[in-house]
Structure 1
Amino acid sequence: MTLNRRNFLKSTGAGLAGIGLFSFLPEPLWAAVSENSSLPRSTPELQGIASPNLLAFIEAVEKEKLGLHSLMVVRHGKVAAEGWWAPYAPDLKHTLFSLSKSFTSTGIGLAVTEGKLKVTDKVVSFFPNDLPATVSPNLAAMRIKDLLTMTTGHDKDTIGPLVQDKSGSWARTFLALPVEHEPGTHFLYNTGATYMLSAIIQKVTNQNLLDYLTPRLLQPLGIVGADWETDPQGIATGGFGLRIKTEDIAKFGQLYLQKGVYNGQQILPAAWVEEATAYQVPNAASTTPAHEWNQGYGYQFWRSRHNSYRGDGAMGQYCLVLPEQDAVIAITSETSNMQAILNQVWDHILPGMKPAALPANAAAQKALKQKLSSLTLLPAKINSNSPVVKSISGKTFRLVDNHLKAQSISFAFTPTTCIFKLQDNQETHQITCGLNNWAMGESRMPGEPPSFVQMEPKEPKPKEKVAAFGTWQDPNTFVMTWVFNQTPHSETVTCHFEKDTVRLEFNDSVAAKAPERPKPRPTLEGRLA
């Protein structure tokens, strides 16, 4: 599983797609918009969760440097604990990566419910104009169910050839690939298979997947502002690219926990929920040591230990549903060890869940509340000054030629901020760094966008939300940290000053998790003008 995700990092990189307008269908086909878009709040003990266990979980993931960005624990339909590591925040969306797959699967369930398709339908039947000259028996046999269960018969994940395709038709590229095994017999994590589910939904509904889900799923759950990356033809990528808020992830899990019911309305048939989250196929050899990636696979849902199931995404995006505890746990993060986060859930949060409400524990609740309200990714110590500031502040450094076509940079210091500017052949890009806190802004800094999938660039390139801080590592080294806080990713920019020269070294946070990924920005060198 780790290898497959690393290959996904290597072969893909993510642009951002806009939101289309959905076509209105007859009202009975979906539930009414949720009147109360927020989940109700409570305290841990009232919902039978021990506050010390929650605090222990937070302390453990921080000690292990597991890179959490947000946590929401829901029990009996109420939020018992929630927190965001600044500069991540409740009102910000977060890239889901493969957690998107579970939403795509839900779209298939809704289409099945509306009679638009069956899971036994053959994949080739939806793409008569995209088939190869010779359709192999294995390709002809492939069903929607095989896409759902990642048993298409391929030997390799197909997403690489799709995102690298120059023809403009990902479906045609998928169908042209060899299918080495009989479909339904061979599990392989295959993000291209999920894309095909999205493409099928667009074929049978004449709507982009996000537009199709909006009135049927997102609006009833009170999920607003979602966006989903698309392929060159405007088809939602399906297997990745959805961005929603942490609470939206929790609502989605609550819908499944409640067998498709939300706010008293049956949004998704209970039978589909059971089918989608059940053990459909084995996903590892029986001799594999027990962990979260050998418990079986459903319809774009993973089975987990403790009779739970989850949707999850690369670098630690989780929607964990625990039916026996009547609980949902939503987590966003950037980690290279997804199993370690789940281990901490099992070691700390699960044992703290009891069958009934617990006695009030004011001291423990206060300690937990203080911890949750002070979570931050800021380092423990920030040095906001250096004697170098006087000689460089407000002055321009001319840069040596580079492939970013960056021409000059400057640093303007105040007692509380550093305004960094980079001029290229198009415009002046600016990021403001707080010197003792996060400074929020937006930027279109040149270089690879702060995400995975290397798609054809959209013009103009959209600005990304960014939070930044700066600190003097030593008198001659200023370090900026840029957190693109609607994605899991950040960039550390180390600025070395020597006499009248500067050297900028960029280290993006994905590199530690996928060292084979190309470095997005070059080292920049400059001299005072």
Structure 2
Amino acid sequence: MTTTHLLPRTDPAAHGVDPAVLARLVGQLDQVRDVHSLMVLRHGAVVAEAWWDPFRAEEPHRMFSVSKSVTATAVGIAVAEGLLTTADRVVDLLPDDAPSDPGEHLAAMTVRDLLTMTSGHGTDTMNFTLRNLRKPGTSWARDILAAPVLHTPGTRFVYNTGATYLLSAILHRLTGERLLDWLTPRLLAPLGITGATWEQCPRGIDVGGYGLTLTTEQLAVLGQLWLQRGRWGSEQLVPGAWVDEMTAAQVPNGPDEKPDWEQGYGYQFWRCRHDAYRADGAFGQFCVVAPALDAVVVLTSGTTDTETELVAVLDALQQMSDGGTPADGSSPAGTSSGAPWTPDDTLAVDLPQGAASTMMAALVEGSTFVLADHAVEPPTGHGDEPGPGSPDDHGRELLRWHAVAVRHHGAQIALAWTTDEGEPWHEVRCGVGRWTTSQVELAGEAVDVAGAAAWTDHDTLALRLLWRGTPFALEIELVFGGDGEGRHVEVAVDQNVSFGPTALLRATGLGV
């Protein structure tokens, strides 16, 4: 985790940014449920930052497909070091995983085709690894290279996380190191980025297309590096020509009803309107770079309303003036000329609104409600990156509760559950009207969460559990009934965002 600032802070007006524009942007983002953080850079300095409670500046956040842009940056460094070229064939670079008879299309596939998502596949090839995601010794690369290559490589854009994984696997083979370790002395350490993590496949290869965790400011530093064409201080960490090539529109990616998803695709970067480009991760992880304005905007969140977020950011960028001193390619340093803009009022992720207790709360206090057998569609975090209620490798539903109980502890409301008869109870305490942080076991692992709860009606208790550092939240509702005495309960648990179904649990139970 970062404990000191990596970038200077400065007064936005000194860099041609009207604070009213920033206030308007935050106001628009605050209307989108579950925005977590915002950072705006102009001329290499932070001119605005905002954090939605309980998210904090020092906490890393899952960046999802923003990881792809970092992988492409690593490829550029490897090309500069002479390890490979964009014209190299994939089957030559991964000979142990390629089929013995690859077929014409697979044989023609190049590194450039992987970078531009024009590998020739008709779908995301990560789908071919799903049943083997966590099996020891599994070769994701072999699964992906065995997938049908329906089209001539280089001719058709199909968003494909498997293509990015192959890039990481290629670098792993060529360097003999996992991608994160290889990148650290070449990129991360010179930028002052420490504590980054990257999820790995069972063979120890960094996933490449997702799985990278960074703080908001660390991502902003990468955005500033891309803006400065790979230069940081006196060092050219990434060739400038590669950054130009990587962030230019290399292939068409339309048509799409959302205009900023049809402006062209580079090497693992999306083009935007207004001559901007972005690293883009699921559920609202953005690093938007606007070279003409010498500006970078970083956003983390947990929403499906990503178009609203991106439009708000681009509109705010267009309202920036041309004032201030442009960056000269050196890394930001020195003292700031003032404080950056921050919101006047405390921002907070949406939490349940209601009372700390009701007459029903007293009736159900401490009672155990045993739930009837229940089954739901297994939700997913990424299809390949799990969320709180994802199935395990055998398809067993992880969010299965045998019994639940509600307990009140002063200004806190606690939800307790057990997954089976005789199994240990798990309890999470939630604040009323505020977030309370704790750790609880979810999906078989200890998870840092923030919880909030309230009685939204005389018989209805609503709780939200945010999985810290991720977009995911559990939405829990318990409705008590039975002649007004709370003898039975209806339980509904949903996930706020998912690549699959969001309904995790529907069950009824009786008090004992």
Give the match for residue 500 of structure 1: 487
Question: Helix, strand or coil: the match of 2:86?
Answer: coil
Q: Distance in 1 between matches of 2:258 and 2:505?
A: 42
From 240, 256, 269, give the equivalent of 2:226.
256
Give the match for residue 65 of structure 2: 98
* TM-fit CA distance, 1:239: 0.9
* TM-fit CA distance, 1:405: 5.3
Whichever residue aligns with residue 409 of structure 1, its letter is V
Unaligned runs of 5+ in 2: 326-337, 375-396
Question: Helix, strand or coil: the match of 2:403?
Answer: strand
1:362-400, Cα deviation, whole Å (9 max, x unpaired): xxx9996344x5111244843212112222223333333
Q: TM-score of the superposition, structure 2-length normalised?
A: 0.86
Give the match for residue 342 of structure 2: 369
Q: Distance in 2 between matches of 1:36 and 1:405?
A: 42
* TM-fit CA distance, 1:37: 5.1
Q: CA 1:232–1:412 in structure 2 vs 1: closer, same or farther (change >3 Å)?
A: same
Q: CA 1:168–1:349 in structure 2 vs 1: closer, same or farther (change >3 Å)?
A: same
Question: Helix, strand or coil: the match of 1:444?
Answer: strand
1:246-295, Cα deviation, whole Å (9 max, x unpaired): 1111011011111112243222121221121122222225xx67821222
Q: CA 1:114–1:520 in structure 2 vs 1: closer, same or farther (change >3 Å)?
A: farther
Q: Distance in 2 between matches of 1:336 and 1:519?
A: 12
Whichever residue aligns with residue 200 of structure 1, its letter is I
Give the match for residue 290 of structure 2: 322
Is 1:394 aligned to 2:369, yes or no? no
Is 1:382 aligned to 2:354, yes or no? yes
Greater mean deviation of Cα atoms: 334-343 or 98-107: 334-343
Q: CA 1:414–1:380 in structure 2 vs 1: closer, same or farther (change >3 Å)?
A: closer
Give the match for residue 81 of structure 1: 48
Q: TM-score of the superposition, structure 1-length normalised?
A: 0.83
Give the match for residue 388 of structure 2: none
**For the Cα contact (< 8 Å) 1:442–1:464, is it kept in 2?**
yes
From 407, 410, 413, give the equivalent of 1:415.
410
Matched-pair identity in % = 38
Q: Distance in 1 between matches of 2:318 and 2:292?
A: 11
Give the match for residue 206 of structure 1: 176
**For the Cα contact (< 8 Å) 1:444–1:464, is it kept in 2?**
yes
Give the match for residue 188 of structure 2: 218
Q: CA 1:290–1:524 in structure 2 vs 1: closer, same or farther (change >3 Å)?
A: closer
**For the Cα contact (< 8 Å) 2:260–2:272, is it kept in 1?**
yes
**For the Cα contact (< 8 Å) 1:291–1:339, is it kept in 2?**
no
**For the Cα contact (< 8 Å) 1:440–1:468, is it kept in 2?**
yes
Q: CA 1:368–1:274 in structure 2 vs 1: closer, same or farther (change >3 Å)?
A: closer
Q: CA 1:66–1:350 in structure 2 vs 1: closer, same or farther (change >3 Å)?
A: farther
Q: Distance in 2 between matches of 1:480 and 1:211?
A: 40
Is 1:115 aligned to 2:88, yes or no? no
Q: Distance in 1 between matches of 2:167 and 2:294?
A: 30
Greater mean deviation of Cα atoms: 336-345 or 148-157: 336-345
Q: Distance in 2 between matches of 1:78 and 1:495?
A: 47
* TM-fit CA distance, 1:193: 0.4
Question: Helix, strand or coil: the match of 1:385?
Answer: coil
Give the match for residue 455 of structure 1: none
Q: Distance in 2 between matches of 1:174 and 1:316?
A: 27
**For the Cα contact (< 8 Å) 2:270–2:278, is it kept in 1?**
yes
Give the match for residue 238 of structure 2: 268
Give the match for residue 383 of structure 2: none
Question: Helix, strand or coil: the match of 1:201?
Answer: helix
* TM-fit CA distance, 1:195: 0.7
Give the match for residue 44 of structure 1: 12
Whichever residue aligns with residue 251 of structure 2, its letter is V
* TM-fit CA distance, 1:36: 6.8
Is 1:433 aligned to 2:430, yes or no? yes
* TM-fit CA distance, 1:429: 1.9
From 494, 505, 510, give the equivalent of 1:522.
505
Whichever residue aligns with residue 96 of structure 1, its letter is M
Give the match for residue 245 of structure 1: 215
* TM-fit CA distance, 1:130: 2.0
Question: Helix, strand or coil: the match of 1:503?
Answer: strand
* Number of aligned residues: 468
Q: Distance in 2 between matches of 1:227 and 1:353?
A: 37
* TM-fit CA distance, 1:437: 0.8
Q: CA 1:427–1:107 in structure 2 vs 1: closer, same or farther (change >3 Å)?
A: farther
1:456-514, Cα deviation, whole Å (9 max, x unpaired): xxxxx432221010011111100001111211111110011122222211011126xx5
* TM-fit CA distance, 1:417: 0.4
Q: CA 1:41–1:368 in structure 2 vs 1: closer, same or farther (change >3 Å)?
A: closer
Is 1:338 aligned to 2:303, yes or no? no
Give the match for residue 116 of structure 2: 149
**For the Cα contact (< 8 Å) 2:417–2:425, is it kept in 1?**
yes
Question: Helix, strand or coil: the match of 2:85?
Answer: coil
Q: CA 1:282–1:405 in structure 2 vs 1: closer, same or farther (change >3 Å)?
A: closer
Whichever residue aligns with residue 407 of structure 2, its letter is A
Question: Helix, strand or coil: the match of 2:117?
Answer: coil
* TM-fit CA distance, 1:176: 1.1
